[in-house]
Amino acid sequence: MVAHGIKDKVAVIGCDATKYGELWDKSKEDLLFEATQGAIKDAGITKDEIDAAWLGVYYFFTGVSGTTLEDSLRLGGKPITRVENYCASGMDAFRNACFGVASGAYDVAMACGVEKLMDEGGRGLPGTTVMGHPVLPRPSAPAMFCLLATRSFHEYGWNKEDLARVAVKNHENGYYHPKAHFRMKITLEQALNAPMIADPLGRFDCCAMSDGSAALILTRPELAESYAHADDYILVKSNSLSVHTAYPWYDTNFDFISAPATVDAAKMAYKEAGIINPRKEIDLAEVHDCFTITELLNCQDLQFCERGKAAEELKNGTFNWDGETAVNPSGGLKSFGHPIGSTGCRMVQEVAKQLQGRAEGRQVPDAKIGLAHNLGGAYAVCSVTILGQRD
């Protein structure tokens, strides 16, 4: 049997996200309630119309099982599944919800995600204190991605300034987004002079610890006509997931200048969506800029530019909000922070709103096709979603 995929079989009919930030006064229940109620309102439905839900959560201290959503929203006994897949947890929740409606098993499904990092304290992601092998090294997230930076500098001749330009661009975009954690523009000098986190990544090369939640309501296109966004619902063109080893440092062939998970997920997503020239066809992309080096490598792995050319293209404005391929017009993880389980859903809803012409931050002109990309763990898990306007 030939797999059919989900192209044009799923419609986004409502979406929303909370304000992102250090939300000391909000619980995960508050955040999930606000994001899901926002999406429900956007879709013009009641919560009782939701048949099933998938919830992205990474850390067990944020919440385990479907009950995390049930106790926030009270769907009253509906099927809810918690999805965890590193930093792609949110986008994988979206992927599962897509399958839920595309298969015909459900008419209306919800994808949402949440993470409450601030309740654990703000000094970096909890790692080896809570999980992993007793002694095999498990570097901090900045250190993991720094292994890519060091090798990319060596192979491509990039430097700290090339990385800093990513931060400057994304903070420039985030300045205009009301829901961003950081709404500030920064200078190249500020970025370059920031304290070191994992050399060569300084503070502005790293995304922040933040709290936040996002949610989307999905149905099939034929049903979408009867909801609030009948005229401007968004079609899912493809969604892909690629999982590679969590321990790339044990792979003797791993080159540390590319994430094979992104390369594979991009190929799958482009094939299903029928995209031949990503640079030309993708109008905007929300890509996983957990660290500045990640964004540069993402642009290459997603085929927005040639290998080794990302820094130059960025400098030339290719990835500006009004450039050839707008990359992170929302401000990205650099501006929003990265409440892990929520990020994938936030990106997808951001792209949907751009395509609907109602971006909350900078609106990319004439955006017709958009892409969202999550990369998690040690560049191990990648999810790519491509959205388009309704016919």
Partner 1 sequence: MIGIKSYGAYLPKYLMPRELIAKAWDFPAVPGTKAIASVDEDSLTMAVEAGLDCLSGIDPKSIDGLYFASTTQVYTEKDSASFIATVLDMREDIITIDFTDSLKAGTTAFVRAMDTIKANKDISSILIIASDTREAEPATMYEFGYADGAAAFLIAEEENLPIVIDDYYSISANVTGPWKRAKEDNFIRTFESKMDNQIYIQSITRVMSEIMKRNNLNPEDIDVAAYYYNNPRTHGRISKRMKFNQGVAQNGLFFQVGDLGTPMSFMLLISAMKRPKEEAKVILAGFGDGADSILMHVQDRRALRELSKNHMGMAGHQKSMKTLQNYNVYIESKRLLTKDRYVRKSSAVTMWRDTPTVYKMYGNRCKSCGTVQYPTIFRACIVCRADDQMELVKLALKGKIFTYTLDHLVGGSYLATPVPRCVIDLDGGGRVLLNMTEIENPEDNVKIGMEVELTFRKEHEGADFKNYYWKCRPIRGRF
Contacts with partner 1, 109-128, as mask; x by CB under 8 A: ---------------x--xx
Residue 252 interacts with partner 1 (CB under 8 A): yes or no:
yes
Token pair of 41 as six digits: 């309102």
Residue 266 interacts with partner 1 (CB under 8 A): yes or no:
no
Q: Which of 128/363 has CB closer to partner 1? A: 128
Residue 270 interacts with partner 1 (CB under 8 A): yes or no:
no
Catalytic annotation, residues:
87, 338
Q: Which of 14/248 has CB closer to partner 1? A: 248
Q: Which of 118/143 has CB closer to partner 1? A: 143
* Of 256, 304, 319, 321, the one binding partner 1 by CB under 8 A: 256
Beta bridge partners of 389: 234
* Of 57, 88, 109, 146, the one binding partner 1 by CB under 8 A: 146
Three-state DSSP class for residue 354: helix
Q: Judging by DSSP bridges, how do beta strands 11-17 and 234-243 pair with one another?
A: antiparallel
Residues 149-208 that bind partner 1 (CB under 8 A): 149-151, 154, 195-199, 201
* Of 251, 306, 316, 322, the one binding partner 1 by CB under 8 A: 251
Output DSSP code: residue 250. Answer: G
Residue 60 interacts with partner 1 (CB under 8 A): yes or no:
no
Q: Which of 4/133 has CB closer to partner 1? A: 133
> What is the sign, positive or negative, of the torsion defined by CA atoms of 136, 142, 145, 150?
negative
Output DSSP code: residue 195. Answer: P
Sheet with 11-17, side-by-side order of all strands: 80-83, 52-56, 109-116, 211-219, 11-17, 234-243, 381-389, 369-376, 284-286, 326-327
Residue 249 interacts with partner 1 (CB under 8 A): yes or no:
yes
Residue 263 interacts with partner 1 (CB under 8 A): yes or no:
no
CA distance 294 to 191: 16
Q: How far is the CB of 130 from partner 1 (least distance, A)?
A: 6
Token pair of 373 as six digits: 């990309």
Three-state DSSP class for residue 87: strand
Neighbours of 218 (CB within 10 A): 31
Token pair of 297 as six digits: 């490598």
Q: How far is the CB of 256 from partner 1 (least distance, A)?
A: 5
Per CB under 8 A, residues contacting partner 1 are 124, 127-137, 139-140, 142-143, 146-151, 154, 195-199, 201, 245, 247, 249-254, 256
